[in-house]
């Protein structure tokens, strides 16, 4: 399972509909993800991929593509 698939799986766990999701999809406006959910996504990703994510940086991400890139960079550092 790659990063994109893992993130979509986590979104499903949170009952966030990933239908039609694209790299350009805006996390807050298009996917209606709020700050609480972003923190929860960060915690879930850390547990699944054994990476360390900075909460402030993660919550400042704008798009789904930004999120994939950020998690991929964290995985390289891990």
Residue 2 in contact with another protein, rule: CB under 8 A? no
- For residues 68, 70, 75, 78, the Cα torsion angle rounded to the nearest 10 degrees is -160
Which helix (H) or strand (E) is 5 found in, with range?
helix 3-13
- Residue 32 makes contact with another protein by CB under 8 A: no
The answer to whether 40 contacts another protein (rule: CB under 8 A) is yes
3-state secondary structure of 74: helix
20/47 with CB nearer another protein: 47
Decide: is 43 part of the binding site for another protein (CB under 8 A): yes
Q: Does 60 bind another protein (CB under 8 A)?
A: yes
Phi, psi for 26 (deg, rounded to 5): -80, 130
Which residues contribute to the site for another protein (CB under 8 A)? 34-37, 39-40, 42-44, 55-56, 59-60
């Amino acid at each position: 399972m790659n990063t994109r698939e893992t993130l979509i799986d986590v979104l499903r766990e949170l009952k966030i509909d990933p239908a039609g999701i694209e790299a350009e999809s805006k996390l807050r406006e298009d996917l209606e993800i709020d700050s609480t959910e972003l923190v929860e996504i960060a915690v879930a990703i850390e547990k699944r991929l054994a990476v360390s994510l900075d909460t402030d940086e993660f919550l400042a991400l704008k798009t789904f593509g930004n999120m994939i890139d950020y998690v991929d960079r964290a995985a390289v550092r891990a």
